[in-house]
Amino acid sequence: MEPVRKIIHIDMDAFYASVEQRDNPELRGKPVAVGGSRQRGVVAAASYEARKFGVRSAMPSVTAARKCPDLIFIKPHFDTYRKVSEQIQSIFHEYTDLVEPLSLDEAFLDVTFHKKGKPSATLIAREIKQRIKEEVNLTASAGVSCNKFLAKIASDYRKPDGLFVIPPEDAEAFVEKLEIDKFFGVGKVTAGRLHEMGIHFGRDLKKFDRAELIRSFGKAGSYYYDIARGIDNRPVNPNRERKSIGGERTFDRDLYDAKELQHELEIIAEIVWNRVKKKQAMGKTITLKVKYADFEQITRSHTFTGNVIGMEQLYRTGVDLLPYYEAAQKGVRLLGLTLSNLTLPGEGIPVQLTLEF
């Protein structure tokens, strides 16, 4: 009989904004938004002081400024965030090699068999939180349970600087009372469909059999059936790769002119291709992302039979995918390029890798 797994999910609290407040004492205790400006762009992260006013990540900056007139907008410093993330990851690896980063600010750890000889996952989580506070001068929240789904939910339960444990024997009862909107892996659109089916809590989802959920949601239906019962057998995967190599730019003013759009696309293509080369990756699918002045967003993709061979091909494909007529009529506030369907060195099976711009 296999031992009950011990999974920890660590989630840094308002990571980007907290790093900025740590490094600039004048920002401490004030509402801070990383990314965007008072007139343009989108909030990448908001401090807890800003969240009290309803400011959230992915919110248009204009909306955020309206909700919080004293909001301070800060340009993101991704190089700094990556360095801080590496510091935190190095702490994780002192406890286990089974670390699965989800982004710069969160990761799963499997400490079923670990390096420190601690008697419980809860003690390990508490010690990791304390070390992050002492060594990095930031706070993190931790969730502890017997699988990834439950650990992820637990880490969000007492934010910020929280620690919450869902014991295996309490898992099913806990999920029965959980709102569907808080289920990890259930987005807003799916939650809306579930609500239409009369599913608002875990106990409602549990009434449906696996076949019914598969008919309604495809493969994801099987996942929903399991998590309604507190079951998630996915392993913590330290070799997990992400979805794409890409980048995007939000402009200070709306762009209508074809030549201006092509110029900006060339800059993006060069940055993305440098990242592709750094990873020694190859890819077959190029995707153009366009956000218009009215915030409508579209994507257009082209997949080649062979790998994209250079920055020029990446750029030219983006140029061909540009919706020139719509851009001239509506104005463009953001452009992005992504290379996906990737193969990394030494691998024959396509994988994908995502990097922030």
Which sequence positions are flagged as catalytic?
106
First-to-last CA distance in the chain? 46
Under 8 Å between Cβ of 246 and 357: yes
Instruction: Give the orientation angle of helix 78-93 with respect to helix 121-135, to 10 degrees.
Output: 140
Q: Is 232 annotated as a binding residue?
A: no
Under 8 Å between Cβ of 194 and 223: no
Structure tokens at 70: 């004293």
Dihedral of CA atoms 7, 123, 48, 200 in degrees, nearest 10, equals: 40
Q: Is 320 annotated as a binding residue?
A: no
| Binding-site positions for Mg(2+) | 11, 105
| Binding-site positions | 11, 105
